[in-house]
Chain A
Amino acid sequence: MISTQRTFSGSSPSQSPRSPSGQPFLSVSVTDPVKLGNGVQAYISYRVMSKTNMPEYQGQEKIVIRRYSDFVWLRDRLADKFKGIFIPPLPEKSAVEKFRFSAEFIEMRRQALDVFINRVASHTELKQSEDLRIFLQEDEETMERTRSQETGIFKKKPSEFMQIFKEVQSKVSDVVLGKEKPVEESSPEYEKLKHYIFELEDHLAEAQKQAFRLVKRHRELGQSLSDFGKAIKLLGACEGESLGKAFSELGSKSEMISMKLQKEAHNLLMNFEEPLKDYVRAVQSIKVTMTDRANAFRQHYELAETIRLKEINLDKLTLMRSDRAGEAEIEFRELKTESEEATRRYETIVKLMNEELARFQEQKTAELGLAFHEFAKGQAKLSHDIADAWRSLLPKLGVSS
């Protein structure tokens, strides 16, 4: 079976652990999907095996059992902590119940999860995440406990809570002050980038849709060819002699080619349609980062505004030798720290985004190029096999090919 053939920045999964003095290295694989549980609560579990030489990790090799929601937990933690970085996308939750346990869906999901965890493990910043270590090394009970803890809204840390409150506050004040439109950064380059990302998603979605349809067409053609072959064989049975034989050959070959079509349909799905889908998800992940950037920008901007006003106020109070000057001074200093932090956060995101973008473009060209290569190879082989199959019949029919 075809294992992940995507290229990643960073180490390849098959390298053996180097000595501690070498580059920090982490390789992961997701394998062996197993159905666990019963009825409505049934789910698929995966075997996650990791090898590393990083000192933060306990031991060099570890195998754990994880399920899809564990991956979701990891992705959410990373998204929270590493703003500015394009978090690798996860495969979607299944919308349709009956697909959840189909072999094809499970294999597609396994492949996508494997790609996800490897991208995380290869990313210079993300691989340092403590959450990643927990995910890769903690036992299953701890994992489950950790996961359920973090998903409750009331479990959020106080500072995060305050941040949400402030965001709401600023939105409300905007409305009150008549500033309906949220503040946005407006550099022409960033505008261009935003426009590019949004349009790219549309184009890619269309391409992915057609790719998925092409998979379906292969399956349908395979099915009709098989039905046709059967009908032709029956027809041949009641014609005799050379015609009967010819029909029988035609029918058998049709059935054989039908199977090749089904195989190619699967190949197309895994190695062409999935990469395209993955590309779409990646673009959506970029949009999340863009939202983070917008939020960070707004905070930075608003705090800067607030600081300005507070400074004016403080100067006034100082001049007036008011008692409140001392208080105001302390408040001012606190706000200034916050504002500097907000500005720093925003600038980090901008810097990270630029780096990420460059890496993203290169990665995508390579991954897509490989997908195209696989696509072309698969189609070429299919057509060659079909041509050979038909040609092999011709001498039997007395035709010189």
Chain B
Amino acid sequence: MMDHEESRYNFEPPSPREEMETLPLADGPLAAVPVDGSGGGDPLLHPLQFDSPFSFSSSSPTRTSSFAEPPSNAKGVSLQATESPKGSIHLSPRRKSGEDSDYLKITVSDPQKELESTVSLVPGAGTFVSYLITTRTRASDLSGSPQEFSVRRRFRDVVTLADRIAESYRGFVIPPRPDKSVVESQVMHKQEFVEQRRSALEKYLYKLAEHPVIGKSDELRVFLQAAGKFPLPATTDMASRVLDGAVRLPKQFFSSGEAGSGYVAAPQDVVQPAKGGRDLLRMFKELKQSVANDWGGAKPSVVEEDKTYLERKERVLELEQHLSTASQQAEALVKAQQDMSETMGELGLAFLKLGKFESEEFVCDSQRIRAADYKHLATAAVRASRAYRESNSLAMKHLDKLHEYYGLMLAVHHAFSDRASALVTLQTLLSDLSSLRLREEKLEAASSKIFGSERTRSRKLEELKETIIVTEDAKSIAFKEYERIKENNKSELDRLDKERHEDFLAMIKGYIVNQAGYAEKIAGVWTQVAGETNRYANGTD
């Protein structure tokens, strides 16, 4: 990490990559400038994906220094952070990796209803809720003081952010984003729902910022710092944006030779999985490949052979199963403790009423004494009930870690499937290549034997050779991508294991200390009553 910062301070002429990184952002005084054709309108489409995950991270100082104006002065955005009622989340390091985060504090607050700029036919669908997001970044040596940013974002922007991160960080265990609501327009404006969402957003952004790699991503930075509308489009799949997948097909039909022979995957497309994109033909081919993988026939030339990976995956699945059970039982436990607290409280209340009743209606001494006994017991029961309740809400916070890590399992599955789909892409290209080469051989063999129609044949051969070259390129890119994702998988699983170990150990300790402390407190309450009623014991104590 440190090395990178130093290289930036060397003031070398920025490499093309760095130039792209320091692109000013779209909107307002910071207009987007597309650098190459494939960049389109997306300021962030740069060759980040082709390098190892840790090398492209850049620190804030360089970025901010290249902007025309610091985003914090961008028009219309209020700098006053309205403190959310629940308090903002500080990225105080609960573990070492948190210390490296660029962000000190992220707050989500002030939900506002806003009108859509486009009129919709559906009534009630013309409004959405936006949230004020305030960020304080870590002080850097260069600028000397921490910077504050305030932006307005809506939930759709968060979805975009999550999608973009998923595209850019294949193989990573990416913190899952808050759920969309199933019934959008009706539920959206209810106070409770908005508050839940606000809190969930805050936690999500915090998790992203804490991630050693994603926390330094451009996507997150743009989300948190770019003033005005969130500038990122939903996906980097340029081809699918410029041309609908359906529109592509006719082109393929026009190419000569076998169906689909003229179609070539543009090299940079292979860094994204075919599935979910709009490239129908590529999807079809890769599907064919996976079926071929599953149902036998020729073994593909590159397979998932890494035993360590497979074993690890097994262990992860086992962990997931046990996490699920533990998470459920923890919930049941918390509920049982809650019930205990409530019933103890109601018992105390019943005795309080009894005590009051006896002391109001007494005619003899023993009633008066009994009334006092009732009161003592009632007070103790109420105190115990309170202690149970407090202890329980703390226990809930501790045991929440189980739920959290169970929730993360989905992200782990995504990371695994990133790897699987990258492998399928590679396998597809390899089998393409082998069939192309076969045709090349046939054509070359034919040209030495058959005379006539040489011009068409040689043209075909040339086209074929070109196709082979392009496919070769795509293959090496796909291979690099696959290797990169494998690396990401491994380092992420390592990181996850380490963090999980630390977090669970802390959870256990916290839970035990909490339970012990409150148990002692409750014991004290009852010991006192036992002393007060000691005179009733008939000498058997």
Contacts and interface: CB of A to CB of B under 8 A. Distances in A.
A376 B512 contact: no
A230 B373 CA distance: 41
15 contacts: A207-B350, A213-B347, A217-B336, A217-B344, A220-B340, A228-B333, A231-B329, A231-B330, A239-B504, A246-B508, A362-B364, A376-B526, A377-B541, A379-B526, A390-B512
B527 A380 contact: yes
A371 to B, nearest CB: 8
A370 B536 CA distance: 5
B347 A207 contact: yes
Nearest to B332: A224
- Interface bin, chain B: 35 or more
A376 B377 contact: yes
Given A394-B516, A397-B505, A397-B512, 6 more contacts: A220-B340, A369-B373, A372-B377, A372-B536, A377-B541, A380-B523
Smallest CB-CB A-B distances: 6 pairs? A369-B536, A383-B523, A390-B516, A380-B526, A387-B519, A376-B529
Contact of B325 (A196, A234, A361, A394): A234
A243 interface: yes
B538 A397 contact: no
Interface in B250-307: none
Interface string A210-221: 110110111011
B538 A238 contact: no
B526 A203 contact: no
B534 A373 contact: yes
B90 interface: no
Contacts, number: 196
B315 interface: yes
A7 interface: yes
A148 interface: no
Contact of A390 (B315, B351, B519): B519
B121 interface: no
Nearest to A384: B523
B366 A393 contact: no
Instruction: Point out which of B329, B522, B527 has the most chain A C-beta atoms below 10 A from its C-beta.
Output: B329
A207 B538 CA distance: 24
Interface string A232-276: 101101110111001100100000000000000000000000000
Contacts of B538: 5, 7, 370
Contacts of B370: 361, 364-365, 368-369
Interface in A298-329: none
Given A218-B340, A373-B533, A231 B325 contact: yes
Overall SS of chain A's interface: helix
Interface of A: 5, 7, 192, 196, 199-200, 203-204, 206-207, 209-211, 213-214, 216-218, 220-221, 223-225, 227-228, 230-232, 234-235, 237-239, 241-243, 246-247, 250, 358, 361-362, 364-366, 368-370, 372-373, 375-377, 379-380, 383-384, 386-387, 390-391, 393-394, 397, 399, 401
Interface in B473-507: 500-501, 504-505
Overall SS of chain B's interface: helix
B409 to A, nearest CB: 13
B346 interface: yes
Contacts of B322: 231, 234-235, 237-238
Contact of A383 (B325, B364, B519): B519
B393 to A, nearest CB: 16
B467 interface: no
B141 interface: no
Instruction: Point out which of A241, A373, A390, A394 has the most chain B C-beta atoms below 10 A from its C-beta.
Output: A373
Contact of A196 (B361, B373, B511): B361
B196 interface: no
A246 B535 contact: no
